Amino acid sequence: MNKIACLHAHYSNIEYIQKAVDASKVDLVHYVDPGLMGRMMSSTQFDRSQACEKVIEQIRWMTQPDVDALLITCTNYIALLDEDRLAAAIPIIKIDEPFFHHVCRINEPQVILFTNPATVEGTMNRLYTYAAEQGLTLNDIHPRVIDHTFELIMQGKKEQYKNEVASGIKTLLSNDERVKISVAQLSMADAAEIVEREMGVEIGNPLKTLAASFR
């Protein structure tokens, strides 16, 4: 059985990954550190270079045991990853890459939704880099933040968070039912799936694309 170490920025992500990956085939070992993202958002004295050092330190520690691969579920952690310096001996699975593949296949105008403002820049930069590496151009794509929601998930108010995110998606669709929508954060997957069922639309989310990549 393959053993995969998983690095999360919040405990709620564990449940999502357990659903996405067949536990009979893969042994998942979870590590959670919500502190780094909180520190980056709240302290002007904690700069990007310090954050990069912290991510490298975490990953080196996590991959010391007998693991076959590393899965990173936080887009900000991925954006901070310096693979040249890390020189990892095992594969690193980035949750956003299957998601980016999905986004790049959409030719119509689209909106990428976030709840964490601190995640937008790093994710969009990685998306454009990924598209360029694939020889693709993303002309009509717009990131938007559903305001005042991220603090809910950080406070453990998962149900309220889910409802607020679902409401934000529905509002966007009510303004333009033709718009193509994806949610960029793993924590938004439940809300996206609720809106899909209720409104009969397809909404991209990183949990769905990750699960497809493991099949």
At 25, which CATH number?
Answer: 3.40.50.1860
161 in the same domain as 115: yes
pLDDT top residue among 13 and 81: 13
* Domain shared by 132 and 209, yes or no: yes
What is the average pLDDT score of the chain?
Answer: 86
Is 29 in contact with 67 (CB distance < 8 Å)? Answer: yes
Pick from 118, 128, 106: nearest CA to 181: 106
Q: Residue 111: pLDDT above 70?
A: yes
Distance, CA of 67 to CA of 79 (rounded, Å): 22
Structural domain span for residue 192: 97-213
Angle between helices 117-133 and 96-104 (to 10 degrees): 60
Query: 69 versus 55: which is more confidently predicted?
Result: 69
Residue 39 has pLDDT above 80, yes or no: no
Co-location of 112 and 198 in the same domain: yes
CA distance 18 to 157: 20
Q: Where is the domain boundary, 94, 126, 158?
A: 94
pLDDT on residue 139: 78
Highest mean pLDDT: which of 31-35, 51-55, 152-156? Answer: 152-156
CA dist., res. 73 & res. 186, Å (int): 7
Which among 81, 154, 167 is positioned nearest to 117, based on CA atoms?
A: 154
Residue type, 51: A
Does one domain contain both 101 and 84? no
For residues 13 and 165, the model is more confident at 165
Judgement on whether residues 80 and 104 belong to the same structural domain of the protein: no
Boundary of a domain, candidates 70, 94, 118? 94
User: Do 47 and 104 have their domain in common?
Assistant: no
CA distances from 120 to 13, 49, 61, 207 (A): 18, 18, 27, 18
Are 117 and 70 within one domain?
no
- Domain co-membership, 170 together with 90: no
Highest mean pLDDT range out of 61-65, 81-85, 140-144?
A: 140-144
Is residue 150 located within the same domain as residue 201? yes
User: What tokens were used for 58?
Assistant: 């975490």
Q: What is the pLDDT of residue 191?
A: 96
Let me know: does 117 contact 88? Beta carbons within 8 Å: no
Cα torsion through 196, 71, 100, 87, rounded to 10: 170
Burial of 146 (0-12, 13-18, 19+ CB in 10 A): buried
Q: How many domains does the chain have?
A: 2
* 38 pLDDT higher than 70: no
Give yes or no: residues 76 and 142 share one domain.
no
Quickly state the pLDDT bin for 177 (edges 50, 70, 90): confident
Residue that terminates a domain, selected from 50, 73, 94: 94
Does residue 33 share a domain with residue 106? no
Q: Are residues 199 and 111 in the same domain?
A: yes
Give the pTM: 0.84
